[in-house]
A and B are shown apart, each in its own frame.
Chain A
Amino acid sequence: MKKASILALVVVPILLGSCIRTEEENTECDIEAVSLHLDTPSEFFYHDYDTIQTVISTDTDIVFTIRSYANVQRVPTTLRVTAGAAVYVITEDGTRTPFLNGSLVDYSNEQVHQFLVVSENKVWSRKYSISVVHDVPSEGNLSIGFENYYLDPSGKYYIWEAPDVFTDGTWKNGNPGFKISKSSAKPLDYPSTPVVGGGPDGSDCLKLETCDTGPFGRIVNMRLASGSMFNGVFDVGNALTDALKATQFGTPYLHKPIMMRVWLRFEPGSVFQDRNGNKVEGVIDEPDAYVVLYRNEDAEGKKVQLDGNDVLSSPYIVGLGRLPHNYNEDGSDKFSNNPIHGLTNEWKEVTIPVEYRAELNADELADKGYSLIIGFASSWGGAHFKGAIGSKFYIDNVQLFCE
């Protein structure tokens, strides 16, 4: 008995510590992926992989793009949702009908279907829309002024409208990632901001600024955020773990770009720092501006997606035009005290020709087998968190010329 009482002194706290309570029901209610089941997907889609879309957590409007002449009707549709969540279709009169995976959904006439996903614990829900739209014919040449922008739903940062051919018609940048690290920042404190009347012609222009990410940025060793602007997808979910993967560059493009002409102005920040925040002597920060065309499907038909790791170095790149930089002999970036980009604090129109290293396949080009990237950054080492806080890169009147 007495032995037992002493043992109990040790055992009781350990038992208490290991007393795991019953698991609570899931609170999340995401559509994680949507797939359409078609016997002959290539009749409808440019790529077979386009029949499946993984949905990032910030997206609620899921749009499939099919060939302009294709005609879809009722298509078996499968949603992958959070475990335990229930899915309902919301009809026009607002009634909810449970949705079963594999059910036929009528996508004719570009109908938009509303879905409601309710969490297992029935407390949380999210509304989604799914639709299939026809490809918009594009002329090729683009002219972009960064004049149309608005605040995101949280009211924290700006979003710019982009040409329709770009994913969901908006420009992408690192602002959603900056929001995670600097909750106190006002919309104009973000790395990518508009400047009212700041353009060379007096119109609104775009300002990219390399910003300090604050205490949380230091914790995760991502001490600065380069201002950025590109077409593609910014998957903020990866912003903390694998920032290079968060920037998914490019959208399929039917034309062969030959050059970009753009108005630029640049002011470097005073102190260049490395990833660990240490001052690097003898380096002046430089901006980046580029046009890339790359093959978006590999030999096995799998999707090729360039991200921060290989946006300028992938073997799938066929054409590349970039603001001049210094390079080491092995082709790696050479940070220098003698930049050759030729920009100053005065507006200047710059022409960036696209140089091709491979012949384009006309059939593949017509079949959206290539993706176009237009990208800008206020620090060209920003993807690796190198640069000078306070570097400012102003951009306006982007023109892309195609063959």
Chain B
Amino acid sequence: MKRIIYLTISLLFIALSVQAQEEDSFEKWGPTTGLKGGGFIARVGYVIGGTTPLPLPAEVRKINGFKPRGGISLGIDGYKMFTKRWGVSAGVHFFWEGFHTDADVKNYYVWLEQEGEITKGYFTGTNVTNTELWGVTLPLLATLRMSPRWNVSAGPYLSLYFGQTFSGEVYDNKDGVGYLREDTPVGTKILMTKENPTPYPDNFPDKMQPVALGIEIAFDWKAMKHLNVFGLLDWGMTDIWDRNFEAITFKMYPIYATLGVAYRY
């Protein structure tokens, strides 16, 4: 996956050096002539990011590890320029994104419910989380041509999830500290160890919202006549969890960036 980032960044640099040698004009880099003032952009990109509470709660003491999972986006946008600088675009982006994280937490409130049985309290130790999401994002963006070769677009998006996974487990940290205080910080102290980790119940994905709303910001750079290099950010504004899900007390938002190349028609 890292290779894709390097490749994208190298392409960007090559493109930038090419740019220096040419004279740019809005006409030259304008919308391709296929459709009047408009066209299509087919995108392929690498997705990296995470689903996170914002700001990070004080219970999170240390991020020990982070690994992206999945990380592919395929999409097509249609755009239409109304003036030399302003236009709109709308698209359909299929994605598969996710991550694995390993964090040390202190006094992290957990509330687990399985078939009517409830375990709750304050956990201190290592918390491992894995999540994957796949679905489609439908952005509707306003586009500004900042320069002949640079476009910046921003606007809302709607994501529909076809599938989601959310799993994890808790155990002791590197210092051997791992326990749940049942109900309150003065409740029974129940030890947890890596040899016998306690997994999250498997009903977490059922508690996830099937849709999300957010803001997308996209930067497109026209590297060649038909080739764009782009970076875009999908910033989720809605909590991934059902409102009545008590296991996680803070709201979590999906924030994923996509880097890639696009064919512009």
Contact B117 A182 (CB under 8 A): yes
Among listed A6-14, A334-342, A363-371, A382-390, interface-contacting one: A6-14
> Among A24, A214, A238, which residue has its beta carbon within 8 angstroms of that of B106?
A24
Q: Do A9 and B232 form a contact, CB below 8 Å, given A23-B106, A119-B185?
A: yes
Among listed A25-33, A63-71, A197-205, A294-302, interface-contacting one: A25-33
Q: Is A49 an interface residue (CB 8 A)?
A: no
Contact A28 B50 (CB under 8 A): no
Complex alpha-carbon distance, A299 and B160, angstroms: 68
Q: Is B115 an interface residue (CB 8 A)?
A: yes
Q: Which residues of A contact B59 (CB under 8 A)?
A: 24
Task: Report whether over half of chain B's contact residues are helix, strand or loop; otherwise say mixed.
Answer: strand
Q: Do A241 and B117 form a contact, CB below 8 Å, given A9-B233, A22-B58?
A: no
List CB contacts (< 8 Å) of B191-250 with chain A: 191-193, 195-196, 198-199, 201, 217, 219, 221, 231-233
Q: Do A184 and B56 form a contact, CB below 8 Å, given A9-B257, A17-B66, A124-B184?
A: no
> Among B12, B63, B114, B196, which residue has its beta carbon within 8 angstroms of that of A17?
B63
Q: Is B34 an interface residue (CB 8 A)?
A: no
> Among B66, B112, B195, which residue has its beta carbon within 8 angstroms of that of A241?
B195
Complex alpha-carbon distance, A184 and B118, angstroms: 8
In this complex, the member of B62, B187, B190 whose beta carbon has the largest number of chain A beta carbons within 10 angstroms is B190
- Residue of A with least CB distance to B152: A5
Among listed A101-109, A142-150, A215-223, A267-275, interface-contacting one: A215-223
- B: which residues have CB within 8 A of A? 12, 16, 48-50, 52, 54-63, 66, 106-107, 112, 114-119, 122, 150, 179, 181-182, 184-193, 195-196, 198-199, 201, 217, 219, 221, 231-233, 255-257, 259
Contact B192 A240 (CB under 8 A): yes
Q: Is A21 an interface residue (CB 8 A)?
A: yes
Q: 16 A–B contact pairs at CB < 8 A? A: A9-B259, A10-B259, A17-B50, A20-B60, A20-B61, A21-B58, A28-B185, A56-B189, A57-B188, A180-B188, A214-B114, A215-B201, A216-B119, A236-B188, A237-B190, A240-B192
List CB contacts (< 8 Å) of A145-203 with chain B: 176, 180-184
Min CB distance B122 to A, Å, is 7
